[in-house]
Amino acid sequence: MRKVSALLLGSERRAISGLAGLYASRMLGLFMVLPVLALYADTLEGSTPLLVGVALGIYGLTQATLQIPFGLLSDRIGRKRVIALGLVIFALGSMVAALSDTMVGIIAGRALQGGGAVAAAIMALLADQTREEVRTAAMAIIGLSIGVSFAIAMVLGPWLAAWAGLAGVFWFTALLTLVGLLVLWRWVPAAPRRRRHRDVSMDRQQFKSVIMRPDLWRLDVSIFSLHLVLMAIFVAVPFRLLGAGVPIEYHGLAYLGIMALSFVAMVPLIVVAEKKQQMRLMCLLAIGAIVISLAGLGLPFFAGDWLFVWLFVFFTGFNLLEATLPSMLSKLAPAGAKGTAMGVYSTSQFLGAFLGGTLGGLLAHFGGLNAVFIGCAGLALCWWVAMWWMPSPPPLSSEIVALDDTHADTLDLLMEHLADVVGVEDVMLVPEERLVYLKVNRQQLDRATLTRLMSPPQS
């Protein structure tokens, strides 16, 4: 096994910080509209609750459709070129929405924003720029940046809209994206190589086996359902805050308090899930919290200050699932198939966002605001039942080990020996990548034997 320092190199620090910033700024631009679009829709020609919902979620449809093709294109013409193209498309979509005074124009702009589907290309470039032993930490930083960007968007969106209107939100997004192009050009280093990384990239040969696994399928259903209800309720939540006496210009402060408290409440639950191996229990608890909070938001006798209680409960469950579902997927995905599993998972998330916005608009149009919450509570209850039968994920981790030249003639024998190592649960050896993908139980792993097997023989 190659012995290299796990400390980040200077180029890795630049790549991680720059790409995490790009990823987070895109998500910030997409999410800032959530808490404000419904409130400002009456200034747009042709606005209806249904079209508001479509505008909220339409980015998910184009994102789900194009993210895999963009990722494959980056293998052919280069990561930076594809990311730059996606950022330009995203900026154009923001400008189209900023210049629109009709709901159809807003929908077109949001769809174009989703067309800048560069998430897979960003992750692939990050993999190109980082060594195997630090890549997991790099991916975790990206995940953390997404959570932080969502929280900031919930606060910043209402403040910008109160100051500069809905168009100001989209202009700010466009400006942020142009800054992102500068970061990509001047700060993120050029990738020294382009390779397929099975821990981040989609492998079409593994697609069928991944999508047919019930344990992974349940996680895809979970992220689909989570973003469905999130997008659906934001057709109605801003009006609930108005009804509770919170002026538009103070909605950001309301979300700030709710999100801050929910993050504080989430942390000990994540510790229990990870350290005590109670992933399944925490997942069911989070979905149950979402069911109860949505039902509370939809029942008319829970009014006034109850609104803030239910939003706190909802976002605690939401943030807990956003943190634990990817961890569960990492544990359950077969060796060498994490990238494929994550691709299906992300596509499910974006489709959930699209259908959630549309469903929320339909429910609001035909049944009013209460129907949005009650309908979503019913769907979340079905989701909870589906997850009840999920077994607890095993405490497994992914590891990637580089092959040495001395292993070239003994690959079959090496794979057999690796499979026999205590704590190694799954092995995938890929000669063309010169890598071995492992699923290991680190509490039981015989690290000494693994190191001896992967070390070149002494001459």
The domain in which residue 31 lies consists of 9-189
Question: Distance (Å, rounded) from C-alpha 67 to C-alpha 266?
Answer: 30
Average pLDDT over all residues of the chain:
88
Mean pLDDT for 176-183 is: 94
Same domain, 155 and 242: no
Q: Which of 426, 40, 453, 24 is nearest to 198 (CA)?
A: 426
| HSE toward the beta carbon, residue 43, CA cutoff 13 A | 13
Q: What is the pLDDT of residue 2?
A: 40
**Contact, 408 vs 456, CB < 8 A?**
no
Percentage of the chain surpassing pLDDT 90?
55
Residue 193 predicted with pLDDT over 70: no
Please tell me the total count of domains within the chain.
3
pTM for this prediction: 0.89
Distance in angstroms (rounded) separating the CA atoms of residues 423 and 396: 9
Do 377 and 416 have their domain in common? no
Rounded mean pLDDT, 184-188: 91
pLDDT at residue 139, rounded to an integer: 80
Half-sphere exposure of 134 (CA within 13 A, CB side): 19
pLDDT digits (tens, 9 = 90+) for 141-151: 888 888 889 99
Read off the tokens for 73. 């294109």
CA distance linking residue 331 with residue 353, whole number of Å: 25
389 and 404 assigned to the same domain: no
Q: Is the pLDDT of residue 202 over 90?
A: no
User: Which two structure tokens, joined as six digits, stand for 430?
Assistant: 């890929």
Rounded Cα distance, 459 and 456, in Å: 9
CATH assignment at residue 420: 3.30.70.100
Q: Are residues 376 and 402 in the same domain?
A: no
pLDDT band at 198, cuts 50/70/90?
A: low
Q: Of 239, 249, 309, which is closest to residue 52 (Cα–Cα)?
A: 239
439 against 28, higher pLDDT: 28
Q: Are 430 and 338 contacting, i.e. CB atoms less than 8 angstroms apart? A: no
- Given 189, 204, 227, which residue is the final one in a domain? 189
Task: Tell me which residue has tokens 């057709």.
Answer: 235
Q: What is the CATH number of the domain that holds 390?
A: 1.20.1250.20
Is residue 104 one of the residues assigned to a domain?
A: yes
Tokens encoding 40: 């400002």
Q: 271: which residues sit within 8 A by CB, 6+ positions away?
A: none
- pLDDT > 70 fraction of the chain, expressed in percent and rounded: 93
Question: Residue 200: inside a domain, yes or no?
Answer: no
pLDDT bucket at 68, cuts 50 / 70 / 90: confident
Residues 17 and 159 in one domain: yes
Distance CA 59, CA 116 (A): 9
Token pair in block for residue 241 = 């805050």
Which of helix, strand or coil describes residue 440?
A: strand
CA dist 312 and 307 (Å) reads 9
Burial class (CB within 10 angstroms; exposed 0-12, middle 13-18, buried 19+) of 185: exposed
| 8-state DSSP, 263 | H
Which residues are within 8 A (CB) of 93 and not within 5 positions of it... i.e. 6 or more apart? Answer: 109, 110, 111, 112, 113, 114, 115, 116
Highest mean pLDDT among 94-103, 122-131, 271-280, 390-399: 94-103
Q: Which two tokens stand for residue 204?
A: 């079409």
pLDDT of 194 above 60: no
Asked if residue 174 and residue 25 are part of one domain, the reply reads yes
Same domain for 326 and 445?
no
Q: At what angle do helices 119-129 and 79-99 cross, to 10 degrees?
A: 150
Task: Note the pLDDT of residue 408.
Answer: 56
pLDDT in tens, 3-60: 333 477 778 889 999 999 999 999 999 999 999 999 999 999 999 999 999 999 999 9
CA 41 from chain center: how many Å? 27
The better pLDDT of the pair 103, 128 is held by 103
In terms of Cα–Cα distance, which of 26, 21, 257, 227 is closest to 151? 257
Query: Which amino acid would we find at residue 180?
Result: G
* DSSP bridge pairs for 402: 435
